[in-house]
Amino acid sequence: MTQNKRIQAFTELGTFLNSVTEHQPDLVKKATHINPWYTEEYIKQQFEALASNLAEEKLTSWLANYPDIDSSKRVGLILAGNIPLVGFNDVLAVLIAGFTASIKLSSDDAGLTSFVLNKLIEIEPEFKDKIDITEKLANFDLIIATGSDNSSRYFDYYFGKKPHIIRKNRNSVAVLSGNETAEELTGLGHDIFDYFGLGCRSVSKLFVPKNYEISQFFEGVESFSPIRNHYKYSNNYDYNKSIYLINRDEHYDNGFLILKKDERTSSPLAVVYFEEYEDINQVVDTINEQSNQLQCLVSHIPLDTSVAQFAFGESQKPSLTDYADDVDTLAFLFANQ
């Protein structure tokens, strides 16, 4: 199968994904039943985000510097399931580059990845021999595995001898100047609350200027208050609130999100840590020191860091070249063809 054929197939898949939730209501209902974190709203949002990248001109540009190959090598993929279709970009990179994908799905996947790949095979039957969904990875030449800090140690042990990309926990941060517009704060709300804050691109910590008015932030994200109606999110909010009250930990609470001053980056669900600063250069130094723990940075302040920076509201909309952990997946694949 030629590169052009693969591009055309994924382009057609993108068109399909744009309207899939309207034409496949049973798929969405089943997924939300299997995994309550996969709401109809977020499934639709993810399908549309993926579809936006599956445009012919974007795919062609993405592959422009790479040869047209049909590799005999098999890439093992261990996918996460924290948000809907979170591993799709890895699958896309492997298949469009001409490799075979041997895929171990997350138990949280709720059938979404299989559905999308079956549609891809329907569009281009030659992909049938390039896709293998398996319960146990056995024969593979390369490995891309995504998991927690704990699981990454097992991945290193079992797969470390093969060419690999092994991903651990990451979080994202936002740097506020105090002069954000209402629209920017609403955008920041999306960076925090979309997918319930479960993604590595979800902002879990704020850097705010000294004496920042927390009420300004809370006013900017008030429109996200309906998240409190989701029982799993609400359970986490209530639990963390209770812990802070029992321990008499200082915190701010708007009824659906807790802000707590903390130097750490990875906050519990329904909690965002914050840290005050007087010198923005200190923030830059801190972010650079923690860069191997961060996925992305959100701010309207141009910051000289090694972490990928996004405008408010854009952290959950990565382009094809916004690689997880800043590791170029295509470059890795072609270097090991």
Estimate the share of the chain in helix, then strand, then coil, as percent rounded to the nearest 5.
45, 15, 35
Show which of 169, 189, 210 is a domain's final residue.
169
Exposed, middle or buried, 107 (CB in 10 Å: 0-12/13-18/19+)?
Answer: exposed
Mean pLDDT of the chain: 96
pLDDT score of 118 more than 90: yes
pLDDT tens per residue, range 38-84:
999 999 999 999 999 999 999 999 999 999 999 999 999 999 999 99
CATH code of the domain in which 85 resides:
3.40.605.10
pTM: 0.94
Domains held by the chain: number: 2
Residue 104 lies in a domain: yes
Q: What domain range is 38 assigned to? A: 3-169
Q: Find where tokens 């990451």 sit.
A: 170
Task: Kindly state the percentage of the chain with pLDDT values over 70.
Answer: 100
Q: Find where tokens 């939730």 sit.
A: 21
Query: 179 and 158 in one domain?
Result: no
Tell me, what's the pLDDT at 152? 84
Query: 248 and 302 in one domain?
Result: yes
CATH code of the domain in which 256 resides:
3.40.309.10
Query: 105 and 119 in one domain?
Result: yes
Residue 33 lies in a domain: yes
Query: 152 and 206 in one domain?
Result: no
Cβ count near 57 (within 10 Å): 9
Query: 259 and 128 in one domain?
Result: no
More confident call, 151 vs 320: 320
Show which of 140, 169, 198 is a domain's final residue.
169
Whether 274 and 208 have beta carbons less than 8 Å apart is answered as yes
Tell me, what's the pLDDT at 159? 86
Label residue 150 by pLDDT band (50, 70, 90). confident
Query: 257 and 144 in one domain?
Result: no
Residue 60 lies in a domain: yes
Residue 317 lies in a domain: no
Query: 152 and 57 in one domain?
Result: yes
pLDDT tens per residue, range 1-44:
999 999 999 999 999 999 898 889 999 999 999 999 999 999 99
pLDDT score of 97 more than 90: yes
Helix (H) or strand (E) holding 310: strand 309-310
Query: 303 and 231 in one domain?
Result: yes
Residue 120 lies in a domain: yes
Residue 175, beta-bridge partner list: 207
Query: 186 and 154 in one domain?
Result: no
Residue 322 lies in a domain: no
Please tell me the distance from the alpha carbon of residue 101 to that of residue 76, in angstroms, as a whole number. 6
Mean pLDDT along residues 244-273: 97
Q: Where are the beta strands (DSSP E) in 203-307?
A: 203-209, 252-253, 258-261, 271-277, 294-298
pLDDT score of 154 more than 90: no
Please tell me the distance from the alpha carbon of residue 109 to that of residue 205, in angstroms, as a whole number. 27
pLDDT tens per residue, range 207-224:
999 999 999 999 999 999
Please tell me the distance from the alpha carbon of residue 9 to that of residue 124, in angstroms, as a whole number. 6
